[in-house]
A and B are shown apart, each in its own frame.
Chain A
Amino acid sequence: MLLDQARISIERLRNRADFPFAPLEGVGPNLAGWGVIETCLLLPESISVMAGPSACLRHSAFMAHARGFTDRFYMLCVSELDMTMGKHLAKVEKGVMDIASQRPEKVVFLIVGCPDYVLGTDFSALINRLEQATGKRIILGAMAPITIGLKDSPFTSAYTSFFEFLKHETRAPDPNALNVLGTFMPLSESGELYRVLRAAGLKSVMQIPLCSSLDQFGRMAHARASVVLHPLANGLGAKMHKAMGMPAVFAPTSYGFSTIADHYEKIAAAVGRTLDTSGLEQAARRAAEPLLAELRGKALAVGCSINGSPFELAAFLVESGLDVEAVFARGAIKPYEWEVIERLRGLKPDIQVYNVSHPALCGRTAAFDHLDVAYGVDAGAFCVNAVNVPLSRYQEQKYGYENTLWMLEQTSEALRRPVGNYDWIYRHNLLI
């Protein structure tokens, strides 16, 4: 059966080599990374100029436009021949110069693609000249999927490059300040994490998407610690730790009550304060019960386009007595997810894990016709009859027990008023 090529039971999924190999890249809204352009433009007072063949630019442009970054995004088309001959550098230099002269922003991300990466084009002299001529910082980045799996992802590299704007700050640690890294949509300042932190005396909580200027962003250099909510921010957190002595704690967006409690403990240790969350957990458990009850007897699937780990959400749902039958994932399983997979293996070893980009999976939806709820637009693309709950990072960013309740409320809402998977992808732009 073709589908067998694309799946493995979680009982047999012991390490990365076990994950079903996709001989070619199938398709679906399953790219769990962040777009490079959208990542770069999280930095305030920045614009992005991408240079490369039209095809590469067109690919990136859609994601930037979908996220509303049109005004701060420019594209310079250069041909393969020019690139191979190195003749594109002068054109790119002039193009960036022209654009920079029309814009007030202080930072220009010059993004190149796989061709320049493969050719090993040296942009250093060009960047020096541009910086001198424009008085702006020019940061080179790569939208180069050819590097996937070998180096930091392009998204991680882009996010990590923000360190350039922190490293020159003279650090004066503020004991009451904390950074939250790895949010695309910002956490609400009236949300749970803020309330918990403020109650513990951490009056200043900073997130990159809430910084309106580079000066404000620079204040992140003075926080006592960083909390990392998404793996892509681990690189930046680690650099700040190494170069500035600022501890970083990885406490990713999660759904399980015990996992969330562990994360709060880790955050408490990092900031050296006691965080009072016991009441929150009890209240959340009580509030969750009727919402979980709506899901009893239903067959569930979890995809990798959700905010957080699909394995972690699946573990929470199974631990709550629910029936998860399928997890849709990509091969890049994060190190922290293997512990969850081991736990899930003990709980429900017959869960099938599908390689969501396997071409054998495309169009083969019949195997999932009986599923009732699909989390993630990638899972929803296969589970035709299921209610689709996207839990996308482009909807809202929640944290802690509040995130679990949001997930369950979203589920309850979707059961009452379902939105089709196609509409989530195309009308709500939840493309990855």
Chain B
Amino acid sequence: MKKYHKTLPLATGYFGVSSALYAFGGLVVVYGPAGGAWHINIEDEPRWYRGPATVVGAGLLEMDVILGNDDKFIENIARVANGLKRDFVCLAGTPISEIIGTDLKGFARTLEGRASIPVFMVPTAGSEPYPEGASKAFLALADKLMAPAASKHPKGVNVLGAIHLSTGREERIEPLLAAIERAGFTLLGVLSSPRPGVADPLEGLRRAPAAERNAVISTSGLALAEHMYAAYGIPYVLGLPVGLRGRDDFLALLRGEQPGPAPAVTRPAAFRHALVVGEPVLGYGVQRCLRHDFGVPRVDVVSVVPSEMLFKGSEACSGTLIERGPADVDTESEQDIAALMNDPDVDCIVADPCYQALLTREVKFIRLPHIAMSARMYWDLPYEYAVDKGHEYLGAQLFGPGQG
């Protein structure tokens, strides 16, 4: 059993659903008691502030659980969705719907008849990792609203898995998107971060099947990438490019080329053994940057969400930036992570600031917020990871004051 004292349990399935769908103009109904949706918004979803109703709670009460009252909720949801003119409704499961066995699929079917807009459900509970919820949400959305493209867009690229729980504020991935465009590619869809100036937030999703290649930048985008390969024949590149070497390798993979040999490190950092804690695709991006941009000889990655699917091999994957090392582990256990961080051999840690509470010694700590851990707490913190900006940020941290 996982025990938490100094940190927080990570965001779970329905948080992932909300994060994946928030920007698409729909209504995400967290099908549970009051409070669940409230907390997602207030703590984990800073985009709620003064915005339209997007993630809302069903407000289940004891008698609803005993009596069912499904018809009442169907009516309520239809009324709100139609009144607010939302583009779709997503029902996200919670521990209560899981325990009482709510037929969310049937519920969604009935609701769709009354709401006159697309309705789908995502079978989440309250214990699964958030990327599982986000992945299911992307698949459900694609199943409902994605259609084959009339023609392919040569050099068209989709970025998948850009959910705020993994990649933070939208501006954090802007350097990556700009680099992709500068390299001659056309961004068709960035899921789930609609491009500025686009009136229809679902436009990117609709255009996505025309892409030549997908770029999967977090575990949450992987299932959709596999689906799009099966449905539309679009291969994907896996990795979030951090730093200069990551940028060059990533763009080579997007072009369908193999990355060239790594150039010599011009200014090595003084650290010998780094530990990166967080979402694995970003974690491996940081690993590549520390190794190849800054010459850190050993960089271990602690994935706080399951990462095995990144390494299983797939014919859909045309290239990856991710290389599993012998000391890399998957764990979200506070105790395990504390033990790894306090290993005296580790001289540099890159992690969400919440993990600093686990340290029992002085060590170089580079703050890289993981919103699925610290939510709003470090949302406004200035930090970068993507391509050149990531190189600048990590370089400033590695060579800055207190470098250890």
Q: Which residues of A does B touch, CB under 8 Å?
A: 2, 5, 22-27, 29, 31, 52-59, 61-62, 65, 70, 73-80, 83-84, 91-92, 94-95, 98-99, 113-115, 117-119, 144-150, 359-360, 362-363, 365, 381, 384, 422, 425-426, 431
Give the residues in chain B near A77, CB-CB below 8 Å: 1-4, 9, 127
B42 touches A29 (CB 8 A): yes
| Distance to closest chain B CB from A290 (angstroms) | 34
B6 interfacial by beta-carbon distance below 8 Å: yes
B9 touches A61 (CB 8 A): yes
Q: Which of B1, B10, B77 contacts A58 (CB 8 A)?
A: B10
A interface footprint on B46-85 (CB within 8 Å = 1, 0 otherwise) = 1011111111111111110100000000011101100110
| Distance to closest chain B CB from A66 (angstroms) | 9
B59 touches A27 (CB 8 A): no
Q: Known: A24-B29, A54-B10. Contact between A149 and B52, CB under 8 A?
A: no
Q: Which of B3, B36, B41, B57 contacts A74 (CB 8 A)?
A: B3
| Distance to closest chain B CB from A331 (angstroms) | 10
Among the listed stretches B11-19, B207-215, B256-264, B286-294, which one makes contact with chain A, having 4 or more residues with CB under 8 Å of it?
B11-19
* Candidate in A29, A55, A149 with the most chain B CB atoms within 10 angstroms: A55
* Candidate in B33, B37, B79, B126 with the most chain A CB atoms within 10 angstroms: B126
Q: Which residues of B does A touch, CB under 8 Å?
A: 1-6, 8-15, 29, 32-39, 41-43, 46, 48-63, 65, 75-77, 79-80, 83-84, 94-96, 98-100, 125-127, 357, 375-376
B53 touches A54 (CB 8 A): no
Give the residues in chain B near A422, CB-CB below 8 Å: 49
B51 touches A114 (CB 8 A): no
Complex Cα distance, B37 from A5, in Å, reads 21
Q: Count A-B contacts at CB 8 Å.
A: 189
Complex Cα distance, B62 from A119, in Å, reads 11
Complex Cα distance, B50 from A182, in Å, reads 32
A59 touches B39 (CB 8 A): yes
Q: Which of A62, A79, A363, A365 contacts B8 (CB 8 A)?
A: A62
| Distance to closest chain B CB from A280 (angstroms) | 38
Give the residues in chain B near A425, CB-CB below 8 Å: 42
Complex Cα distance, B94 from A52, in Å, reads 12
Give the residues in chain A near B127, CB-CB below 8 Å: 53-55, 77, 79-80
Give the residues in chain A near B39, CB-CB below 8 Å: 58-59, 62
Complex Cα distance, B1 from A98, in Å, reads 12
Give the residues in chain B near A113, CB-CB below 8 Å: 95
Give the residues in chain B near A27, CB-CB below 8 Å: 37-38, 41-42, 48, 53, 55-56
Give the residues in chain B near A84, CB-CB below 8 Å: 99
* Candidate in A2, A78, A359, A425 with the most chain B CB atoms within 10 angstroms: A359
A58 touches B42 (CB 8 A): no
Q: Known: A24-B57, A25-B37, A384-B50. Contact between A75 and B99, CB under 8 A?
A: no
Give the residues in chain A near B80, CB-CB below 8 Å: 23-24, 359-360
Q: Knowing that A62-B8, A62-B43 are A-B contacts, what are 5 other residue pairs whose CB atoms are under 8 Å apart, sorted by A's residue number? A: A57-B8, A58-B11, A58-B15, A146-B60, A363-B52
| Distance to closest chain B CB from A63 (angstroms) | 8
Q: Which of A29, A52, A62, A73 contacts B95 (CB 8 A)?
A: A52
A-B CB contact pairs (8 Å), 28 listed = A23-B79, A24-B59, A25-B56, A26-B56, A27-B41, A27-B48, A27-B56, A53-B95, A53-B127, A55-B15, A55-B95, A58-B43, A61-B8, A62-B42, A62-B375, A74-B4, A84-B99, A98-B3, A114-B95, A118-B99, A144-B33, A146-B33, A149-B61, A360-B53, A360-B83, A362-B52, A362-B54, A431-B43
Chain B residue nearest to A2 in the complex (CB): B83
Majority SS of interface residues in chain A?
helix
For the complex of A and B, the 3 pairs showing the least CB-CB separation, nearest first, are A53-B126, A55-B126, A25-B57
Q: Known: A27-B42, A27-B48. Contact between A57 and B9, CB under 8 A?
A: yes
B100 touches A118 (CB 8 A): yes
Give the residues in chain A near B42, CB-CB below 8 Å: 27, 29, 62, 425, 431
Q: Which of B53, B126, B357 contacts A80 (CB 8 A)?
A: B126
* Candidate in A58, A77, A80 with the most chain B CB atoms within 10 angstroms: A58
Give the residues in chain B near A65, CB-CB below 8 Å: 8
A150 touches B53 (CB 8 A): no
Complex Cα distance, B11 from A57, in Å, reads 10
A59 touches B36 (CB 8 A): yes
Q: Known: A27-B48, A61-B4, A146-B62. Contact between A359 and B56, CB under 8 A?
A: yes
Chain B residue nearest to A432 in the complex (CB): B42
| Distance to closest chain A CB from B37 (angstroms) | 6
Complex Cα distance, B4 from A58, in Å, reads 10
| Distance to closest chain A CB from B290 (angstroms) | 30
Complex Cα distance, B38 from A115, in Å, reads 18
Q: Known: A62-B375, A114-B32, A362-B53. Contact between A56 and B95, CB under 8 A?
A: yes
Complex Cα distance, B59 from A71, in Å, reads 31
Q: Which of B8, B9, B49, B83 contacts A381 (CB 8 A)?
A: B49
* Candidate in B46, B62, B375 with the most chain A CB atoms within 10 angstroms: B62
Give the residues in chain B near A70, CB-CB below 8 Å: 5-6, 357
Complex Cα distance, B86 from A363, in Å, reads 13
Q: Known: A23-B76, A115-B96. Contact between A78 and B51, CB under 8 A?
A: no
Give the residues in chain A near B60, CB-CB below 8 Å: 146
Give the residues in chain B near A73, CB-CB below 8 Å: 5
| Distance to closest chain B CB from A397 (angstroms) | 23
Give the residues in chain A near B37, CB-CB below 8 Å: 25, 27
Give the residues in chain B near A91, CB-CB below 8 Å: 1
Give the residues in chain B near A98, CB-CB below 8 Å: 3
B51 touches A76 (CB 8 A): no
A115 touches B9 (CB 8 A): no
Give the residues in chain B near A431, CB-CB below 8 Å: 42-43
Complex Cα distance, B96 from A118, in Å, reads 8
Complex Cα distance, B43 from A55, in Å, reads 12
Give the residues in chain B near A115, CB-CB below 8 Å: 95-96, 99, 126
Give the residues in chain A near B29, CB-CB below 8 Å: 24
A148 touches B56 (CB 8 A): no
| Distance to closest chain A CB from B12 (angstroms) | 4
Q: Known: A74-B5, A95-B1. Contact between A363 and B126, CB under 8 A?
A: no
Give the residues in chain B near A24, CB-CB below 8 Å: 29, 53, 56-59, 76-77, 80
A25 touches B38 (CB 8 A): yes
| Distance to closest chain B CB from A33 (angstroms) | 10
Give the residues in chain B near A57, CB-CB below 8 Å: 4, 8-9
